[in-house]
Structure 1
Amino acid sequence: MKRFSVLSSQTETIEHLDNTKLLGVIFRELRQTRFYQEVWEEGYEEGRQEILDKLLPWIVALYLKTGLTVEQTAKRLQMDVEMIQRAAQSSGHNEGS
Structure 2
Amino acid sequence: MFELNDLRQTRFFQYVFEEGKKEGKREVFEEAKQEAKLEAIPHLLAFGLSIEQIAQALDLDKKVVKQAAQPTS
So what's the TM-score if we normalise by structure 1? 0.48
Q: CA deviation at 1:51?
A: 4.4
- Corresponding residue for 1:41? 23
- Corresponding residue for 2:65? 84
Higher relative contact order, chain-length normalized (CA < 8 Å, sep 6+) = 2
Q: What is the root-mean-square deviation of aligned Cα atoms in Å? A: 2.6
Residues matched between the structures, number:
61
Match of 1:73 among 49, 54, 57: 54
**Separation in 2, partners of 1:84, 1:45:** 21
Tell me which protein shows more helix as a share of its residues. 2
1:4-83 alignment to 2 at 5 Å? 33-53=15-35, 55-83=36-64
Runs of 4+ in structure 1 off by over 3 angstroms are none
Task: Give the greater-gyration-radius structure (CA).
Answer: 1
Extract unaligned runs of 5+ from structure 1. Answer: 1-28
CA contact (8 A) 1:60 1:73 kept: yes
Extract unaligned runs of 5+ from structure 2. Answer: 1-10
**Separation in 2, partners of 1:86, 1:43:** 27
Sequence identity (%): 25
Tell me which protein shows more strand as a share of its residues. 1
